[in-house]
Structure 1
Amino acid sequence: MPASATKSLRIAVLADSDTRWKWGALTAQRLTPTGADVRLDGYLLRGRATPTARQLREVGVRADSLSEVTGVQFLRAMGDGAEEPYDILVLALVGGGVQAMLHGLRNAWASGRRPVVVTGYVGVVYEKLADGLLLRHGADLVLANSAHDADRFRAVYEGVGADASAVTEVALPFLGGAPYTGAHEPSAEQGREPRTVVFAAQPSVPDSRRDRAYLLKRLIEHARRHPEREVLLKLRSKPGEHTTHIEELPYQKLVQGMTPPANFRLVYGHMGEVLDRTDLLVTISSTAALEALHRRIPTAVLTDLGVREVLGNHHFTGSGCLASWDQLDAGHRPAPEPEWLARQGVCADGSYGTAFDTARERITRLLDRPGGLPPLNPYYTPETAPGYLPGILARHHLGPDGAPLPGAPAADREPGPVRQIVRRAARGAYRHGVQRVAPVIRRMGEL
């Protein structure tokens, strides 16, 4: 019976990190009609960034079931023999993972009914636009978080002769919260001056010790200049944890040896809860800037290290939010450009409630399509990318046709205690190498 008639949906989300789990699960919720009976099953792709229990708690998104799987195990669970097929599958993965799963699913769904496959981006798309998009081509819906992104996505697909009909404009699924109306805890003397200043840190931007130390120093200096303010460094992960990007130089490590004032603190937790008490959000290029702008919180995108593609802050040119620490120290409060906000999917005008309507309508039509959906049809094939695609598939233990390679992990066998210990040790060794050994080798190479 069509999903539109039953109002009952089964949704699966496959994610490879905490931030992508957050995006995937919240996207799944946004894509379901109001009042629908929904079962959400989460699958965490085993790898270097598999989220810890703490990270999952911090995301705050609950699922009816949650399990850790390899790519091959997931494909076998999704195959034609599945007892209860899903209606919607959200692939919340890095581009190469999406491409591998699309080919694997095409092979696994050789016959029978299949779900609507949805993918997209966690936040601002400021690098590897063509590469990432073509790796996502083949999904039924490729979500664009703004009109600006939708135009760019279609241009890339049409430019290589690929079908661009899957591109669907939505918004970031985690925007929300009460609009900002003025400084928290205002006083007659301070008026609307910020009381709480938050710097939203990023794991890989900037990536050098010098630049990260500079930002930390300026943040601490700001706290000293303004003892009446609470100055918070909002961190994404604790040492030893990984998120979407690798963090070689955690700020927790850099702050050791410094003597910050009492009004400076490191904080973790849900970004929305931190923004509830934020009067000024400062960042290099974090998606947190869009969350803050959506709530009309004053937001500054730093120019201290330049406006450069490698930093991602070039994305905010024309926003009115670019500023330096010198300007912020002197009292400058950036004012965003309304036109730029509208193009970037920041729905400060109250239209957020309808941002996912088009995507929901498309999914309903696909689910109700007579005879089911056609096979997945990615742009990359052994014919169009014979020197690129096989390597992507092999990393997920898949052959050129998307079938599991010999020796791939079995879906029905959980690793024993010894193997689990070895896996945890391997992850710890990897993180040690990334956060301790790699920076030392890099510094030695610069001598």
Structure 2
Amino acid sequence: MFDRSRATDAGGRRLLVIADSDSYVKWGAALASTLPSSWRVQLVVLASPVQPSPTQLRHALAGTRFSAASARVVHLDDLDGLLDVFDPHAVLLSLRGPFVRVVAPLLERRANRPVLVSGFPGLTIPAVPKAVVYREQTDLIVLHSRREVREFRANAAELGLGTTFALATLPFLAGAPAEATDAAADAAPTPDVVSTAGVAPAASALPVDAPARTDLVFATQAKVPAAREDRVHLLGALAELARRRPDQRVVVKVRARRGEAQTHDETFDYADLMPEVDPPANLVVEDGPMAEKLATAVALVTVSSTAVLEAVALGLPALVIDDYGVSSAMINIVFEGSGLLGSTADLVDGRFRTADAAWLADNYFHAVQAADWVRRLESFVEARELVPLRRLPRRRDLSGGVLRSAFERRRMLGEHDRSLLGTLAWGVGVPARGAVRRVRRLRSRIVRGGAPDVVSQRRPGWTTETSADARRVPLDMAEV
């Protein structure tokens, strides 16, 4: 039993982390681990179709204050009982956007409800308005760069929402220097960043003389590139790089193995595609914690992954592939101006890059003292200790009322939904949603005059064309 008399004692504050997928488990656990040691923290994983496997859970919690043994998997219906026992001052909803929309109302109806916090596990540029709508029933949204805070505040203002946003350092950047890159704002060089503010960084040759760091790591992303031929093309470049560097391993770092769930579905598995590029022995597919892979890495390549930020924090050269476009759909717009974008031709030739200091200062590498999420969280907790927090109304309700809410719950819980209403809503909602999507596609074709717009994508030696729809932000980007 907990001593209720400690409720107003800062040393007795409690945070409950509620997570769902592997990336959200990793982010929630890592963020909570940066709280002062006076906070007592517990982490649970909601039973759902995307819950991590035991191996994924162990990898996600590596380096945090949690262990796989201490992280319980709980059903959504059992959450009230857990809250009654642990009685948290705050709850971090480390969940995909639609799941926040399902869980937040359950917490809001509690007497003297806890402070509700949400956020994102990775890159959130461009800032999608729908991501704010999903999280409108939380008190605090944690972001990880000055640019993100600016863009999300603008979205909230346009939507008429009074959401509070806070700045944190991405918890995976533990290797980043304490005084990151604020000096870049004054266009002054800093030894903490390889490049110099105001000067375009040149490509750097791979350092191959460090015996402890020999691997070239490719950080995969489930969503991009989406097309099968693009993935085979990328694997082909990695295979050629491996052939040119037989003394180094080229590691395709995946988030999940066959049968394991991820935050996003992955249609084409890299391991399955590997035979198509006649891989040399030193081109391998591995899972495991990213920090573990970077410990032996000499450089990192990705299409779009927060792993590139981890590499930069460790002083490793990196490359963000732009062959398949730079767009919202590719989740790589944030890297414009970073100096990290390059082609698969650069990859094959080993031309990796260092990041521009001014870009770093505005994107994820602010000085430690600029982060204010703990202060803002504690302000909310202190206010709650004086007066119970008000309920946060759902201003932008989804059409469909109770049946729509039951449908959203079933969509998030899948077979873990025990409710009869959820079964009914699913039976009605799936065909209805399919019909709506068909109508939208038809309307889109009519607006475009029956012919899709095309946009060129850069590839060494050839060009592909894709529908303009690919430039739009995917609907589920707000779910990450």
TM range (shorter): 0.7 to 0.9
User: Structure 2 counterpart of 1:173, which letter?
Assistant: P
Q: Distance in 1 between matches of 2:319 and 2:70?
A: 39
Between the aligned partners of 1:406 and 1:195, the Cα distance in structure 2 is: 53
* Match of residue 56 from structure 1: 57
- Give the secondary structure class of the aligned counterpart of 1:27: helix
**Equivalent residue, structure 2, for 1:139:** 138
Distance 2:300 2:31 in 1: 25
Q: Does 1:359 align with 2:382?
A: no
Residue aligning to 1:103: 105
Equivalent AA in structure 2 for residue 375 of structure 1: R
| Conservation of the 8 A alpha-carbon contact between 1:223 and 1:230 | yes
Match of 1:73 in 2: 78
Match of 1:169 in 2: 167
Q: Distance in 1 between matches of 2:216 and 2:391?
A: 47
Q: How does 1:35-434 map to 2 (within 5 A)?
A: 35-36=37-38, 38=40, 40-59=41-60, 60=62, 61=64, 62=66, 65-75=70-80, 77-78=82-83, 82-107=84-109, 109=110, 111=111, 113-126=112-125, 129-164=128-163, 166-177=164-175, 186=209, 195-256=214-275, 258-347=277-366, 351-352=367-368, 354=369, 356=371, 358-369=372-383, 370-380=385-395, 382=397, 385-387=398-400, 391-392=404-405, 394-396=407-409, 407=420
Alpha-carbon distance in structure 2 between the residues aligned to 1:95 and 1:226: 42
State the distance in 2 between where 1:176 and 1:130 align: 29
For 2:399 and 2:92, locate their aligned partners in 1 and report how far apart those are by CA, in whole Å: 27
Mapped to 2, the partners of 1:42 and 1:376 lie a distance apart of 24
* Counterpart residue number, 1:7: 11
Q: Deviations over 1:398-425 (max 9, x none)?
A: 9xxxxx996479xxxxxxxxxxxxxxxx
Alpha-carbon distance in 1 for matches of 2:259, 2:219: 19
Note the C-alpha offset of 1:258.
4.6
Evaluate the alpha carbon distance shift between residue 239 and residue 294 of structure 1 in structure 2; reply closer, same or farther with a 3 A threshold.
Answer: same
Cα distance, 1:342–1:379 mapped onto 2, change above 3 Å: farther
Is the 1:75–1:101 Cα contact (8 Å) retained in structure 2?
A: no
Measured after TM superposition, the shift of residue 331 of structure 1 is 4.0
Cα distance in 2, alignment partners of residues 171 and 42 from structure 1: 20
Letter in 2 for 1:18: D
- Aligned 8 A contact 2:125 2:148 in 1: no
- Equivalent in the alignment of 1:432: none
Whichever residue aligns with residue 72 of structure 1, its letter is D
Q: Deviations over 1:87-134 (max 9, x none)?
A: 221101111111121222222x1x2x3322110001001467111111
Aligned partner letter, 2:19: A
Please say if residues 237 and 347 of structure 2, whose CA atoms lie closer than 8 Å, have aligned partners that are also in contact.
Answer: no
Following superposition, the deviation at residue 339 of structure 1 comes to: 0.9
Displacement of 1:389 in angstroms is 8.5
Distance 1:304 1:66 in 2: 40
Q: 1:173 to 1:206 in 2, by over 3 A?
A: same
The one-letter amino acid of 2:48's match is G
- Give me the whole-angstrom Cα distance separating, in 2, the residues matched to 1:344 and 1:4: 36
CA offset digits 1:229-266 (Å, max 9, x no partner) = 22111111111101111112111111136532222222
The residue that corresponds to 1:22 in the other structure is: 26
Q: Which amino acid aligns with 1:49?
A: V
Describe the SS at the equivalent of 2:160: coil
Give the match's secondary structure for 1:211: helix
Deviations 1:59-80 (A, max 9, x none): 22425843223333324543xx
2:236 corresponds to which letter in structure 1?
A: K
Cα separation, partners in 2 of 1:271 and 1:277, compared to 1, 3 Å: same
2 CA distance for matches of 1:4 and 1:265?
A: 53
Task: Name structure 1 gaps, 5 residues minimum.
Answer: 399-403, 410-447
Q: Note the C-alpha offset of 1:211.
A: 1.0
Contact 1:232–1:266, Cα closer than 8 Å, also in 2: yes
CA separation of 1:66/1:327 partners in 2, compared to 1, >3 Å: closer, same or farther? closer
Question: TM-score by structure 1 length?
Answer: 0.78
CA pair 225-248 structure 1, distance change in 2 beyond 3 A: same
The answer to whether the 8 Å contact 2:241/2:350 transfers is no
- Deviations, residues 249-292 of structure 1 (Å, cap 9, x unaligned): 11111113653222222222111121112121100011111111
Measured on the aligned residues, the alpha-carbon RMSD in Å equals 3.0
CA separation in 1, counterparts of 2:273 and 2:296?
Answer: 26
Contact 1:7 1:37 in 2 (8 A): yes
Q: Does the CA-based 8 Å contact 2:20-2:46 persist in structure 1?
A: yes
